[in-house]
A and B are shown apart, each in its own frame.
Chain A
Amino acid sequence: MGRHPHALPAHRLQMTDPIVQAFLEEADDRLAELEEDLLRLEQNPAEPEIVNRIFRCAHTLKGNSRMLGFEDIARFTHSLEDLLDQLRKQLRVVTPDIVDVLLMSGDVLKQLVGVARGTEAPNPDVSEGVLHLINNFLSGEAIAAPAPSGTPTSTTAQVAPTLTPIAQTAPAARVQQAAEPIAEPVPAPSAPSAATSPAPAPTTEAPRSNADADSFFGFFEETAAPATAPAAAAPIAQARAASPAAEPAAPCSPPPAVAALPPPTQDAPAKSTLTPSASMLARAAEPIAVPPKTSSLPKPEAPRAPATPETASIRVPVEKVDRLINLVGELVITQSIIAQTVDHLTPERMQTLQEAVAQMDRHARELHERMMAVRMVPIKSLFARFPRLVRDLAGMTGKQVALETSGEDTELDKTVSERMSDPLTHLLRNAVDHGVETPDERKVAGKNETAHVKLKAYQRGGNIYIEIQDDGKGIDKERVRAKAVQNGLVSADAQLTDEQIVNLIFKPGLSTAAKVTEVSGRGVGMNVVKRNIEALGGVITIKTEKGKGTLFQIKLPLTLAIMDGQTMRVGEQIFVVPLVAITESVRPQRESVHRPAGAPPLVMIRGQALPMLALHELLGIDPEARDPHDGLLVVVENEGRLAGLLVDELLGQQQVVVKNLETNFKKTEGIAGATILGDGRVALILDIPGVVELARKHELVASH
């Protein structure tokens, strides 16, 4: 390999580099596992396998972040690793305090990863604070200095170099340069390839810059080279001299390399020889003489077989998958075009073509289904954050809450999964904060002091269901009603079913919490939860029983990329509305339409006044029906309110492949996307909230 004095040190990798992306993704995964394991550790403080897993997590994060130049993460994980190392070696017992600090460390690391990703602002106060806590533990008297158990590192020695991470700032270029002056004086031996390689490990007497290089790599035989060599160059000469001899010697050597290695005679020499860390730890180790050893390792004899990587799973960037899904979507469309063409063919060719098309149809569908599956992720990753949330909330509210999760392997579209995070967080917060009672209250009510919150996911038919169930006090319907009346959401004498009352909690501006607590009441209400779920094409329902608890059931579509839609026509233009948004279609009576000044026209449907959204007016289309009575009114629900879309004709219901309009055109108000119909025509998918907003603006303009 050539010399690259300015070859890219990995820490200058671009954020877009796939390795950096892989690092960030892996860091997310590891930190999620870390948190799970910490919560487990809290329950089983003496379980060595958990401690080892946690240690491994910190260790991997440290190594990876250092390789890629994320110095803040490296520095933090370095101290964390030291603390975990003490736990692992049982020099320190796991106490609740330590678990707390470790959990905080996980939070800091998540934040630091966010900073690395560029999605979060640095918060050095917090990270330095937690680092300080860790270092307090490390420097506390509880530390039993690593007993003469053979561990050559001391905690304090490890902490110091974190401030000057030499390994980080010594990229290969420096290693190469360091090797150069040493290599040159040596007459070129028979192993020319060695000339460009970095120096092998010499003794610890080597100059510092050299030691940097050496601390990186070594052959076990060569580290055993005699330290009697007068200069740092000696080991190289040694290695070269040994090299030619080694090659022919190889075939004669006993096959197992183990046998040829110097037996680990004494502990001490072996250890010192194997500690090439002089520069890192600014610590000198005495050079130890071990008899030189000819290499017994022959060249690899195996003929090169083609590499067949075997991995149990793949991680596919969502972007790539989206492209494939789009492509397959096109295939589905092409297929339907062909299908329509076939209808006009001569009878004798019909059957063959029809069969072919039927087959293509099957294949296209299967391909599509399989491609959609690539986007599906187990809900596990979403659920993983909640045990910690519930633990912390229970601690803050003085409640005893056990969270039980099930159905973690249920798969959900990646985007849906990500967007469900906030709503579920809110619902779980509510469940702990408002849903369940304090241990005392529960005891009085004859319940177990520990409340149970169940988080469950399952698939049924074409939908995914997520349920959050608590065994708390249930929703107080009288209080909800009173609050709604007080806030003017319903009139005091309104006749409401229990279900209607309970559903009032989804109205904006209704919070029944007697006091705004630290936990809930942060301005994000149940109305936002409902809106988020509906934006995903989902539905949320409540079942609650006083004294027994509350169940929230969320029903979500399997995917966002395909939607059940109702097609409708206005003039020449075809629109699609998500089927879930439509409640009914009616032909409005001529006298039921009212046009108040400065507001959208209203239409009376069974005594209820709905805003009428005349699509032809809003979108500037030439319609067939200017008179509402000649058209159709499609009643849609938007954020709990009904509105009527005035269209010319309802066409049919069909699954449509949703295409983003912004990618190819631009963001257009009132339009959520587009799709291509079977006959090749483009239909626009309506964004109902956008249309409502458009109507509001339209009236503002019209009234001025």
Chain B
Amino acid sequence: MNANVLIVDDSRTVRMMVRSALEQAGHRVTEAYDGVNAIATLENVKPDLIITDVNMPEMDGITLVRELRGKQGFPRIPILILTTVQDAEMKEKGRQAGATGWMCKPFQPDQLTAVVQKVLSR
């Protein structure tokens, strides 16, 4: 299944990596560099999955999830937050905000495509 994935990360290296890995797996990728930019992007793009970093300028990932689940009208779209292994606190914040799941940063391309496949096949 090919999907539209929105990657929200202020690091263009991460965005590029996500794009490269997912496009190779046949998905389409849209990029946004922070929460505010993501919300603006979502006016034109309807992704099947959003992967968002947490600590970003302007609007952080947790706020983004909360916004999307709340007034922005994206109650159902799967959202993964990117966290570090140790950061249980952040995962908890993500869960409370309404994220679907979490994925660790740093990741390798294969891990990412596997996760995306898994989320999309639910």
Report A's interface with B, CB cutoff 8 A: 1, 4, 7-10, 18-19, 22-23, 26, 52-53, 55-56, 59-60, 63-64, 66-68, 150-153, 158, 167-168, 171-173, 175-176, 191, 193-194, 196-198, 200, 215-220, 222, 243, 246-247, 255-258, 261, 264, 270-272, 274-277, 280-281, 295, 297-312, 315
Contacts and interface: CB of A to CB of B under 8 A. Distances in A.
Given A63-B105, A172-B110, A243 B94 contact: no
Interface string B32-51: 11000100110011111100
Contacts of B45: 305, 307-308
Contacts of A306: 28
B97 to A, nearest CB: 8
16 contacts: A7-B110, A10-B17, A18-B20, A64-B106, A67-B13, A68-B13, A176-B114, A197-B115, A197-B117, A217-B104, A217-B111, A217-B115, A255-B76, A300-B76, A302-B77, A311-B31
A198 B113 CA distance: 10
B85 A167 contact: yes
B6 to A, nearest CB: 9
Given A305-B4, A308-B45, A66 B106 contact: yes
A200 B85 CA distance: 15
Contacts of B114: 1, 172, 175-176, 196-198
A297 B11 contact: no
Contacts, number: 222
A198 B10 contact: no
A541 to B, nearest CB: 40
Interface in B95-122: 95-111, 113-115, 117-122
Nearest to B80: A217
A9 B75 CA distance: 35
Contacts of A68: 13
Contacts of B28: 304, 306-307
A217 B4 CA distance: 20
A197 B16 contact: no
Contacts of B55: 52, 55-56, 59
B117 A219 contact: no
A193 B3 CA distance: 15
Contact of B103 (A176, A217, A311): A217
Nearest to B24: A1
A309 B32 CA distance: 8
B29 interface: yes
A22 B13 CA distance: 6
A308 B111 contact: no
Contacts of A197: 114-115, 117-118, 121
A1 B108 contact: no
B122 A295 contact: yes
A193 B117 contact: yes
A271 B85 contact: no
B86 A220 contact: no
A406 to B, nearest CB: 25
B88 A167 contact: no
Contacts of B99: 220
A60 B98 contact: no
- State the 4 A-B residue pairs at the shortest beta-carbon distance, nearest first: A172-B110, A258-B98, A193-B121, A67-B106
Chain B interface mostly: mixed
Given A59-B55, A172-B108, A310-B40, A1 B101 contact: no
B59 interface: no
Nearest to A193: B121
Interface size class of B (residues with CB under 8 A): 35 or more
A150 B92 CA distance: 11
Given A10-B108, A300-B78, 6 more contacts: A198-B114, A257-B75, A297-B76, A304-B48, A307-B4, A312-B37
A246 B122 contact: yes
Contacts of B41: 310
Nearest to B17: A19
B11 to A, nearest CB: 5
A64 B16 CA distance: 11
A296 B82 CA distance: 21
B10 A1 contact: no
Contact of A63 (B11, B20, B111): B11
A408 B70 CA distance: 40
A153 B17 contact: no
B100 A219 contact: yes
Contacts of A247: 122
B74 to A, nearest CB: 9
Given A264-B96, A307-B30, A275 B13 contact: no
B76 A264 contact: no
Contacts of A310: 30, 32, 37, 40-41, 44
A608 B14 CA distance: 64
Contact of A19 (B20, B49, B110, B120): B20
A56 B111 contact: no
A52 B49 CA distance: 28
Interface string B50-81: 00000111000000000001000001111010
A1 B117 contact: yes
Contact of A311 (B33, B49, B78, B91): B33
A171 B10 CA distance: 24
Contact of B11 (A60, A257, A295, A301): A60
Given A18-B16, A307-B29, A60 B113 contact: no
Nearest to A257: B98
Nearest to A272: B88
Nearest to B76: A298
B76 A303 contact: no
Given A217-B103, A280-B85, A298-B76, A176 B95 contact: no
B30 A217 contact: no
A303 B46 contact: yes
A595 B100 CA distance: 87
A109 B32 CA distance: 27
Given A56-B55, A167-B85, A216 B107 contact: yes
B69 to A, nearest CB: 5
A172 B121 contact: no
Nearest to B6: A307
